[in-house]
Amino acid sequence: MEEIVCKYFGDSSEKLYKPGKNQRYWFERKDINNSNRIARLQNNKEQVWWWWTRSPGRVGIKAVYVHGDGNIGIQGNNILKGNIADGCCTGGIRPALWIKI
């Protein structure tokens, strides 16, 4: 959570360390850095994707995820979100690598 909230997509650390009273399912719906967290397939501005983080959600069998509009779902997301049968499961994992040069 610290990496996606404080480091790589803008600094929203104050909201992470001092959560609002209604902050149960979402990190912060009106966070100014939400737009930085949006994932798009091949820079397609129309199609946005949700993506999992490596952080566990409030429910141990789910992972924290970033919604298509950049909001962070701290409750967690199931393995299948959307309907795979009709091809509408638009989400996944956003790989990250640390490479020492």
Q: How confident is the model at residue 73 (pLDDT cuts 50, 70, 90)?
A: confident
State the pLDDT at residue 78: 67
Domain borders along the chain are: 2-93
State the pLDDT at residue 11: 92
Tell me: the pLDDT tens digits for 51-64? 888 888 877 778 88
pLDDT at 1 over 50: yes
State the pLDDT at residue 87: 54
Cα distances from 82 to residues 50, 72, 96, in angstroms, run 10, 17, 24
Tell me: the pLDDT tens digits for 4-15? 888 889 998 888
Give the rounded percent of residues in the chain with a pLDDT score beyond 90: 7
Distance CA 101, CA 95 (A): 19
